[in-house]
Amino acid sequence: MIKNFQIENNKSQILNRTIRVLYGKLYGKNWIMGIYRLRKAGFTLVELLAVIVVIASIGGIVFGVLFASLRGSNKSTNVTALQQNGNYVLSQITKMIRNARSLEYPSPCFSESGGSIATTSSVIIENPDAGQTTFSCDNIPNGTISSNSASLVDTSSVVVTACSFTCSQNSFYNFPSITISFTLSKKYSSGVVDTTTPASFQSTIIMRNLKD
């Protein structure tokens, strides 16, 4: 017991000496007053304001990082939606035009005076089952691309801002080719600015399966 008391007493003496040295350097001979101030003094208004400023600065930095992260994630989602819609439109139109039995409109795509290029907002083809399919650009620049009036894009998330079909044929003996070009943009509510870059798509289909 006596030994433990002596150890604790020595620790207390060392601590007191350390405090005296530190406050002796700060306050000179008035180190006792320094200790008293340390024990009795509270936070001043300046100190509180400094803490508030620091906390506000840290909060602003954290909010900025979170906002940038969420904005980047949202932009990535928008780009993915544009790509998925555009690729789907191209795949559906390409498949059906390539397998078409005849081109009903624009027809003829070739003129006897020479090769011709016709640009239009719609194309009508005859399918292998003898039915007809009409591909059209509707209500551009904030519209859609449809197949027999059924939209090929998800109009709840994207809009077609540019669209055209171009039919070209070098000679009567060549197969006509149809080029589809369109641009998709992210659909947004009125007053909301979206920075997603519009996505452009283009594909040329040669109609090799026309009936004689």
Query: 21-56, pLDDT tens digit by residue?
Result: 444 444 444 545 555 554 555 566 776 777 787 787
Question: Is residue 75 situated within a structural domain?
Answer: yes
Mean pLDDT over the full length of the chain? 76
> Is residue 44 in some structural domain?
no
What's the whole-model pTM score?
A: 0.62
Please count the structural domains in the chain.
1
Comparing CA positions, the residue from 50, 164, 68, 59 lying closest to residue 117 is: 164
Question: Measured between alpha carbons, how far is 40 from 57 in angstroms, rounded to an integer?
Answer: 30
| Residue 11 in domain | no
How many Å apart are CA 129 and CA 172, to the nearest integer?
25
Does residue 34 form part of some domain? no
Determine the structural domain holding residue 93 and report its residue range.
Answer: 63-206
152 within domain boundaries: yes
Whether 46 is in a domain gets the answer no
Q: Looking at the domain assignment, is residue 23 inside a domain?
A: no
Q: Is residue 167 part of a domain?
A: yes
